[in-house]
Amino acid sequence: MIARAAVALGAVAAVSAPLWVANPYHLHVLIMAGIFTILALSLNLLLGYTGQLSLGHAAFFGIGAYTSALLALRLSWSFWLALPAAALASGLAGWAIGRLALKLRGAYFVLVTISFAGVISLVSINWMDLTNGPLGLPGVPPPTLGPWTLRTKTAYWYLVLAGAALTYLVCHRLVTSRIGRALVALRDNEPLAESVGIDGTRYLVLAAVISAAMAGVAGSLYAHYTRFVSPEVFLFSYTVTMVIMVIAGGQGTLAGPVVGALLFTALPEALREAVAWQWQMLAYGVVLVLFVFFLPRGLVPALNDVRRRAAPSRPPLQ
């Protein structure tokens, strides 16, 4: 009951945000949080539900951003075509990773993803003709809807909110479907799952493709909001941020990445307010360590525990 009320309240707050968020800067933070929510949800699909960690996820984000930006700048494609194209491009990359990593699991999968991201990053810096290298792609056009241009923050907030909601819905449908159950079975005990006929590799590839495509969507939204794409989108720190959001929020849950994204987008900004610039990053690291220490399974599972303790007569939730 409480959970449903909280979700409803959250939804109302989100939809009405431009009304009560006084400061455009805070709306900016919310928009970035929204984009990172999509990224966190996508990473969670791989990490939380298949148990495989992708530390190259920034590559899918970057591929989406560059694809969308290049199509809009060079071929004058509309945003509404560039976005699905970005998802497609990233999805293809996800398929490549999935196939490459056929038999790899655990640490080896992690390293393939890091290496893949590293190669893509270097290509974006060196292939000047395509990506303009380190000089980046300035002036990416904002989305247009008929006669209107979605240039204002309010308009963009609704766009990002729609994207995040859609991503959440897709994840939810996937996870509760047969595919989702197969993924969880694989995560919990792969040999056992395979013995009942679940093809591990096929499902891993599927999860990788969907996960990558979602990250590509986030990339496209990012490109048309900040209107500047440079090789820094491939920075390892973006991947690290996503990982923090998923694990600290609670991997393997659907609410976890959302909560994690909100928390860890707000945290650096809060530190900007609260702490002099010299201490900001150090404080961030310390907060992270403390967080993991006290909430090692993530925030959402901890909250679930509290709920379960408060209502012992209910059967344990899945």
Partner 1 sequence: MMLKRLVSTALVGLVALALLPAGGGAQSSAPIKIGVIEPLSGPVAASGNYVRMGAEIARDWVNARGGVNGRKIELQIEDNKSDPKEAASAAEKLIVRDKVPAIMGAWGSSMTLAAMPKLEEYGVPMVVETSSAASVTKRGNPWVFRISPPSEMEALGLEPYVDKLGVKKVDFLAVNTDWGRGSIQAFGDMLRRKGVQVGAAEFMEQSATDMNAQLTKIKQTGGDTLFLTTAVEQITLVLKQGQEQRLARKIVTTGGSSSPTQLIKQAGAAAEGSYHIVFFMPWFPEAMPDGRLAKAFVDEWTKRGNPFEGLTEGFRGHDGIATIVEAVKLAGRDEPKAIQEALWKVSITGVNGPIKFEKDGPAGKESGQSKPSIFIVQVRDGKVALPDFLKK
Partner 2 sequence: MEQLLQHLVNGLVLGGTYALLGIGLTLIFGLMSVVNFAHGEFYTLGAYAAFAALALAGLPFFAALLAAIAAGALLGALCERALLRPLRGHSIDTIMLVMIGVWIAMQNAELLAWGGVARSIPHPFPTAPLTLGPLNIAPLRLFVVLTAAALIGLAWLLIQKTRLGTAMRATFQDRDTAALMGVPIGRIHTLTFAFGAALAAAAGALLGPVFLAYPSMGDLASLKAFSVVILGGLGNLAGATLGGLLLGVAEELGAGYVSSGYRDAVGFVAIILVLLFRPAGLFARAERIG
Q: Which residues bind partner 2 (CB under 8 A)?
A: 47, 53, 100-101, 103-104, 107-108, 110-112, 114-116, 118-119, 122-123, 125-126, 236, 240, 243-244, 247-248, 251, 278-279, 281-282, 284-289, 291-293, 296-297
- Residue 223 CA to residue 71 CA, distance in Å, equals 11
With the C-alpha atoms ordered 91, 97, 103, 106, is the resulting torsion angle positive or negative?
negative
The least CB distance from residue 21 to partner 1, in Å, is 8
Smallest CA-to-CA distance from 221 within 27, 23, 82 is with 82
| 69 close to 137: Cβ distance less than 8 angstroms | yes
Smallest CA-to-CA distance from 164 within 52, 53, 291, 10 is with 10
The least CB distance from residue 282 to partner 2, in Å, is 4
- Which does residue 279 touch among partner 2, partner 1, none (CB within 5 to 8 A, set by kind)? partner 2
Phi, psi of 149 (to 5 degrees): -105, 130
**How many degrees, rounded to 5, is the angle at CA 295 between CA 107 and CA 188?**
40
The end-to-end CA distance of the chain, in Å, is: 16
Q: Is 288 in the site for partner 1 (CB under 8 A)?
A: no
Q: Is 18 in the site for partner 1 (CB under 8 A)?
A: no
Comparing CB distances to partner 2, the nearer of 88 and 114 is 114
How many residues does the structure list for the chain? Answer: 318
The least CB distance from residue 65 to partner 1, in Å, is 11
- The residue within the footprint of partner 1, chosen from 60, 203, 234, 291 (CB under 8 A), is 291
**How many degrees, rounded to 5, is the angle at CA 60 between CA 57 and CA 64?**
150
- Which does residue 77 touch among partner 2, partner 1, none (CB within 5 to 8 A, set by kind)? none
- Tell me which residues touch partner 1 (CB under 8 A): 21-26, 28-29, 32, 125-126, 128, 133-136, 138-139, 226-228, 230, 232, 235, 237, 262-263, 266-267, 269-274, 277-278, 280-281, 287, 290-291, 294-295, 299, 302
